[in-house]
Structure 1
Amino acid sequence: MSFSFSLLLLCLAEKMTRRSRYVTGFIALMIPCFLAAFRAETIGTDVRAYLIPMFENAKNARGIVDFFGRSWMQLYTQRSVASIEIGFSLLVYIATKIFSSLYALQFFIQLLTIIPVWCALEKLSDYLDKRIVVVGMMVYYAMCYNYSLNLMRQYIAIGFLVLSFSYLITGNKKNYAIFQAIAFNFHYSAISGLVIYVIYEYIAGKFIPFKTDGDDYKCSKNRSILVMSVSTLAIIALPSLLNVIVNRFGEIKYIGYINGAFGLSINQIVLRLPLLVILMLSYKKLRYTYGNKWLLMPTVVVLNIIVSQLVNADGSASSSGAYRIVLYFSALLIIIIPIMYATYNTKRDLLYRVLLVGYLLVWWLYYFGFAEGSTVPYLSIWS
């Protein structure tokens, strides 16, 4: 219901003047922010793992230096504020000192997650189609919102990465670098964004210029296939490579994200394959509209499938650490799916639009509608 009302306001905003659109859009975003603010402490394991301890330390700290010197016990180990990324620590400290409320802090964490996503979509809508804002936020609500209530630091980083890629797509590399750096300071795993940047530039022929007789599309297609092939081989070889790294350098922060082995996770393939099929069915129109840049779309989807095949050491389920890396590739769907939707602009393309919306609905139902987890079912502080 909350998502529906927010999306309805965003739909109404499409037909307004720029200033009114921004005001209405901002009001629409307040709904999920308040939903995040007044959730129960049990919604999101990281709330109790580090958010509440950091909030209490910030509230009791005599100053910022004292705050960064504090620590707490987490699963029988001592964890310090200084070990948390500086961007998130500053957010906790400033919000706590101003409002002295956990609910206000949770509100601003979600606000700092969702605003960059909305700004990225608004920016791209000026170049493409106003509808991509609503569709993009639909992707965020279906695929990202529940995770953001748990993986708070990482999803703030993902929000800024989405914003950085909107600048990359429109050719502003300076702003891309700025927002990539901000993302990194909220979660160090956001360095994954540089991998996506290199892939984008490589396929588009900017990182390494083409040396052909003018057939840039064929060259981009070959590069896309090469990226997917090399990525598959790299993931297969990853466990052996990790052993070498750990033996040589010892444990490295977040290296556990890519721990495990390459296996076969059928449900991860089934969940992502429909989007790849839709891309392939409409590739002619996408190619005509976006040229060789459209090849980044199937490349990202295939990379999602490949990385999701990292399984736990016992071969069961997809590695939870690996799934955090998948989230960075999945975040690009906030941009890719709306761009696809905007391309399907004739009556004959209605089926593709229905399929995209249906795909998002099935995704949400599978992960959150009929499931139980750290954020499902949602409970408020009044429950």
Structure 2
Amino acid sequence: MYIITFVISLLLLHISEKAQKKSIKRIFVAMALLLPSCLAGIRDFTIGWDVLLYGKGWFERACEYNSLIIFLEKANEYSVGIGYAFINYCVSRVTHNFHVFLFVYQLIQLCIVYYTVKPLKKEISLTFAFFVYFFSYYNLSLNILRQIMAIMIVFFGYRFILNHKPIKFVLTIIVAYTFHNTAIVGLVLYPINWALNNKLLKKLSKTLIVVGSVSAAIAYQVLLDVFAKFGLLQIERYSHYASDTEVGGRYIRLLYWLIILIAILWKGRKCIAYNSKNLTLEMYMTMSGIFSLMVFMGSPWIVRIVYYFDVFQIIFLPMLVQRLPFALGKKKTIGSYFIVGIIIMAFWLFNYVLRRGGNTYPYIFMRN
């Protein structure tokens, strides 16, 4: 079902990109976003560990409360996140059907992705951007309910990074923080972009960012303790990110990010020459690669912090693919799209089909 849904949605997006009339574009975009949202909505509650862990329970609680303020206070007391609780409450005012909540929640995420990449439609293929999203984050979104929304909201903040609007960016991080405390790490994204685009700091900043990333990856436990000390992270809730070791998939993740880092070293300069935005995106990807390497040697659960950096591959890979030299016939980029697409699909196949990560495969339709 996943492959069928992804393919149909991508075809609809491709048609929308080719359509001339705005009304036609909107219709096909709407269908493209609604289809995977429906798939998320009509799934069985066993799809995604977090659905039964807290998702269904908190929606049922929202249905029981009349006061939004009291419900948010209760959610905050249990460290659920008032942003997540707020959406639960809003949907519960319309229906008590949890499947509808799952549909709406997924649709919000897809809209965030679309409106983040839409301003870049002249620079990247929106269809391929969603290809990256579907095979890298869709299954993840069926599992880590609170954090995936935080990740996507931080991703949306890229619009304010590009437009040099620090206040709006910080507000975006604050909103993301109300879904999952780990979103606080997203604050570093703006100063990284500023430093890389500052003529005086440009050369030095690259070295400092890489050294800082290595240091942060080594001292992640210390950083978690600091965040907890200032009340930015409930260490008792997330300390297992630094201590758990029984999580698989490290080898394939390391291989995946090594391939991306090699591609950056190979074609990085051409990407930056083609589009200056790639300098910042490449640094985000480099940081993700460094963190992935350190995760391989330390705690694999720290990867959940790295998501706030690697989510930018949704934009970076569609830009990178245009600089790769894998031609197929007369079209210069078809071969590149194919090769990069195969790598992304292989990562999805291993993580979600073979390993059954997040308990999202095989797909099961709702039973009630």
Q: Which TM class, normalised by the smaller chain length? A: 0.7 to 0.9
Deviation at 1:303, TM superposition (A): 1.4
Alignment partner, residue 96 of structure 2: 100
Give the SS at the match of 1:380. coil
1:259 aligns to 2:242 (yes or no): yes
The alpha-carbon deviation at position 20 of structure 1 amounts to 2.1
Give CA-to-partner distance per residue, 1:183-228, whole Å, 9 cap, x none.
Answer: 22222221221112221211121xxxx33xxxxxxx6344223211
CA RMSD between the two structures? 3.0
Equivalent position of 1:308 in the other structure: 292
Q: Distance in 1 between matches of 2:28 and 2:334?
A: 28
1:139 maps to which residue?
132
Q: After the TM superposition, which segments of 4 or more aligned residues of structure 1 sit over 6 Å from their partners?
A: 243-246, 248-251
Aligned to 2:342: 358
Instruction: Quickly say closer, same or farther: Cα 1:236–1:18, change in 2 above 3 A.
Output: same
Partner of 1:47 in structure 2?
51
Alignment of 1:125-274 (within 5 A): 125=121, 127-129=122-124, 131=125, 133-173=126-166, 175-205=168-198, 210-211=199-200, 220-239=202-221, 252-254=233-235, 255-256=238-239, 259-260=242-243, 266-274=251-259
- Say whether 1:118 aligns with 2:114: yes
SS of 1:381 mapped into structure 2: coil
> In the alignment, does 2:319 pair up with 1:336?
no
Q: 1:29 maps to which residue? A: 33
**What residue identity is the alignment partner of 2:45?**
E
Q: Secondary structure of 1:107's partner?
A: helix
Paired residue secondary structure (1:376): coil
1:268·1:305 contact (CA, 8 Å) conserved in 2?
no
Query: Could you tell me whether the CA contact under 8 Å between 1:261 and 1:311 is conserved in 2?
Result: no
Change in CA separation of 1:99 and 1:261 when aligned onto 2, cut-off 3 Å: closer
Deviation at 1:59, TM superposition (A): 1.4
For residues 197 and 143 of structure 1, the distance between their equivalents in structure 2, rounded to whole angstroms, comes to: 24
1:60 to 61, 64, 67: 64
2:161/2:193 contact within 8 Å kept = no
Q: CA deviation at 1:252?
A: 4.4
Deviates more, 1:339-348 or 1:163-172: 339-348
In 2: Cα distance, 1:258 partner to 1:203 partner:
30
Tell me the equivalent position of 1:77. Answer: none
The alpha-carbon distance between structure 1 residues 70 and 11, as it changes in their structure 2 partners (threshold 3 A), is same
* Rg larger for: 1
Change (3 A) 1:62 1:135: same
Return the TM-score normalized by structure 1. Answer: 0.82
Task: Give distance in 2, aligned partners of 1:194 and 1:245.
Answer: 13
**AA partner of residue 238 (structure 1):** Y
Q: CA deviation at 1:108?
A: 0.9
Unmatched tracts of structure 1, length 5 or more: 72-79, 212-218
Q: Measure, in 2, the Cα distance between the counterparts of 1:228 and 1:173.
A: 23
> How many angstroms apart in 2 are the aligned matches of 1:178 and 1:136?
25
SS in 2 for 1:144: helix
In the other structure, the counterpart of 2:356 is 372
Q: Which runs of 5+ in 2 are unaligned?
A: none
Q: Hey, what does 2:12 align to over in structure 1?
A: 9
> Offset of 1:296 from its aligned partner?
2.5
Is 1:319 matched with 2:297? no
The alignment-based identity, stated in percent, is 25
1:180/1:70 Cα in 2 relative to 1: closer, same or farther (>3 Å)?
closer
Match of 1:84 among 75, 80, 90: 80
What is the identity, as a one-letter code, of the residue corresponding to 2:216? A
Asked if the contact 1:45/1:150 (under 8 Å) is kept, the reply is: yes
What code does the residue aligned with 1:297 have? L
Instruction: Report the Cα offset of residue 352 of structure 1.
Output: 3.0
**Contact 1:2–1:32 (8 Å) recurs in 2:** yes
Aligned length: 353
2:166–2:190 Cα contact (<8 Å) kept: no
The one-letter amino acid paired with 1:253 is Q
Q: TM-score, normalised by structure 2?
A: 0.85
Q: For 1:193 and 1:260, locate their aligned partners in 2 and report how far apart those are by CA, in whole Å.
A: 22
* In 2, Cα distance between equivalents of 1:350 and 1:82: 50
